[in-house]
Structure 1
C-alpha cells in the first residue's frame, strides 16, 4: 500500500489533526482513561473527542482525513470506533518526504 505525500501533508496541515496523530503515538500515556488496550485496539473516538474539547463531528472529520491519508487505521467494536496510527505508512511517508527534500 503506497502513501500519497500530498494527501498526508494536507491531512497534517491542521494543528488539531497533527496533535491527534502525535498523541496516538503513545496512547497509554495520552489516553490513560481507556479500558481496552489502546496499543492493540486503538483509542475510542469519544475519548479523543473528550480530550480535544472539539465537537464529535469535528473529531470524526479529522480522523477521517487522517485515515484517508493512510496515517491511521480504524476498527469498530460494537458501537465504538477505535483509531490507531499506521506506523508502516507513517514510516513510508517520512521516507518519501525525506527523498523530496
Structure 2
C-alpha cells in the first residue's frame, strides 16, 4: 500500500456478516473473513486468497433472506499473517475493492 488515496470517508462495519468473493476469470470462490470498512465507492476486506490489482470480482453477502451482490475490481491486495486458534499462522490477504 502506498499513499492514502481515499476520496470519501470510510465507515467501520461491525454487523456485516461474512460473505464470499467470486473471481470470474478463474471461477474461484474466496471466503470474506472480515469486512474492514465501506464507502459508496469501495470496500476493504480480509480474504483467504490473493488476487492481482485490476481483477474483476463479484461480492456476495447474505443476511436472513436478503442477498446482496456487488461487482467491482481489485484496487490493491497485500498479505496479512493471521494467527489461528491453534497458534499457527494462516494465509490471509487485505484487499481494497473499488465498486
**TM-score, normalised to structure 2's length?**
0.24
More helix by share: 1
